[in-house]
Amino acid sequence: MAKFVYGMNQSLDGYVDHMKMQTGPVLFRHWVEHVRGLTGSVYGRHVYELMRYWDEDRSEWSSDQQEFADVWRRQPKWVVSRTLKSVGPNATLVSDDLETVMRELKTRHTGEISVSGPNLAQSLTELGLIDEYRLYLHPVVLGNGKPFFAGPRPPLRFVTCEEMGDGTIRLTYVPA
């Protein structure tokens, strides 16, 4: 059975905004290896649209960025949206019956499936489907934005804390 893991970069005051937080080379390398090891990813519409950046090659990319794009493109993706009509390569649109589709994904696959997007994570939390939460805390305070937890905070149990490099630490929790 697959494990659903919700993990995103976050500011010290609890917001997710990739445009306002820089990922240094050590943490970026972590993300390359992390994505390489995933069974797949489930995206909310907004995060998926941001990640589509990696679908097109860019001449200014470093070798690490090109490698990330390559592993991201190969990875199966499920995109949860009621407004999108189509999704890109290696992606499946999930527009209704979220609970049934997500439960089938967990049953049909093994390994880790990443969950990306606070609203999506909230929906899956309410359904009892998130197995682990990973908060990548960056040493910045944003003051506003989209919170990591889109709704009430679920009861969690601390598992571990790890330095990730570039001033970022990862806190790992499981449902209590």
Q: Rg of the Cα trace of the chain?
A: 16
- pLDDT, one tens digit per residue, over 12-29 is 999 999 888 888 999 999
131 C-beta neighbours (distance < 10 Å), count: 18
- 66-86: average pLDDT: 97
- 80-97: average pLDDT: 96
Which pTM was predicted? 0.95
- pLDDT, one tens digit per residue, over 120-152 is 999 999 999 999 999 999 999 999 999 999 998
DSSP three-state, residue 136:
strand
Q: What percent of the chain is modeled with pLDDT above 90?
A: 94
φ/ψ of 78, rounded to 5, equals: -120, 125
DSSP three-state, residue 105:
helix
φ/ψ of 47, rounded to 5, equals: -65, -40
Give the span between the Cα atoms of 134 and 174, in whole angstroms: 9
Query: pLDDT class for 73, splitting at 50, 70, 90?
Result: very high
The DSSP letter of residue 154 is P
Check residue 39 and give its pLDDT.
98
| Class of the CATH domain delimited by 2-175 | alpha beta
169 C-beta neighbours (distance < 10 Å), count: 14
Query: pLDDT class for 114, splitting at 50, 70, 90?
Result: very high
Query: In the predicted model, what is the mean pLDDT of the chain?
Result: 96
* pLDDT of 112 over the 90 cut: yes
The residues facing 40 across adjacent strands are 113
DSSP run (H or E) holding 116: strand 111-116
Check residue 141 and give its pLDDT.
95
DSSP three-state, residue 86:
coil
Check residue 173 and give its pLDDT.
98
Give the span between the Cα atoms of 86 and 78, in whole angstroms: 11
